[in-house]
Structure 1
């Protein structure tokens, strides 16, 4: 594995907010609007955190209307998979804003 890419991934999971987001995404694809309530940050701040995880290849997104839905990428490096596996799964409440 490319050491710079692994460094980017490890930096992406070295933040408590991003780890919390990953624990929510363990239960499946989730709209960013649902993650805002869990993290307690503004929607733009949550989106910035998710972007860092996406740039590191840990999560992927698909657009549904004006909202993005995120999920964990299935193929992960062993180091990142081990970290994700250690996280307790959280189930965010489903909002009615995005009409998933």
Structure 2
């Protein structure tokens, strides 16, 4: 069971609109930083900082493939957060609008 402090820290992380949007994107599929940058139309350092915070908070996993790092959700063992993630709006249309996703 999570402590109040752990839950509070997780909710603080998710109180940021950009991090919440990243979580919604990762709910649909794993992604690399360049894909998220393209969709959010922001800078790579900005996205990297948000992903770093989410990773430190235990909310995302990273997997290295060649020179790229792919991010995925890490909430399956966190039912209190899984239910929140389940309520996030679908990002399928935003993803479909970006036909050239995948880092080169």
TM tier, smaller: 0.7 to 0.9
Deviation of residue 82 (structure 1)?
A: 2.0
Instruction: Give the Cα–Cα distance (whole angstroms) in 2 for the partners of residues 85 and 37 of structure 1.
Output: 24
Please tell me whether the aligned partners of residues 23 and 89 of structure 1 are also in contact (alpha carbons under 8 angstroms): yes
Deviation of residue 96 (structure 1)?
A: 4.5
Post-superposition CA distance 1:19-77 (Å, at most 9, x none): 11111111121111100011222111101101111111111101223321000014243
Instruction: Give the Cα–Cα distance (whole angstroms) in 2 for the partners of residues 8 and 74 of structure 1.
Output: 14
Count of residues in Structure 1 that have an aligned counterpart in Structure 2: 98
Gaps (5+ residues) in structure 2?
none
Q: SS in structure 2 opposite 1:70?
A: strand
Please tell me whether the aligned partners of residues 32 and 68 of structure 2 are also in contact (alpha carbons under 8 angstroms): yes
Alignment correspondent of 1:83:
84
Return the TM-score normalized by structure 1.
0.84
Which one has a larger percent helix, Structure 1 or Structure 2? 2
Match of residue 101, structure 2, among 80, 95, 99:
95
Return the TM-score normalized by structure 2.
0.81
Alignment correspondent of 1:9:
10
Is 2:47 the partner of 1:46? yes
Cα root mean square deviation, aligned: 1.7
Gaps (5+ residues) in structure 1?
none
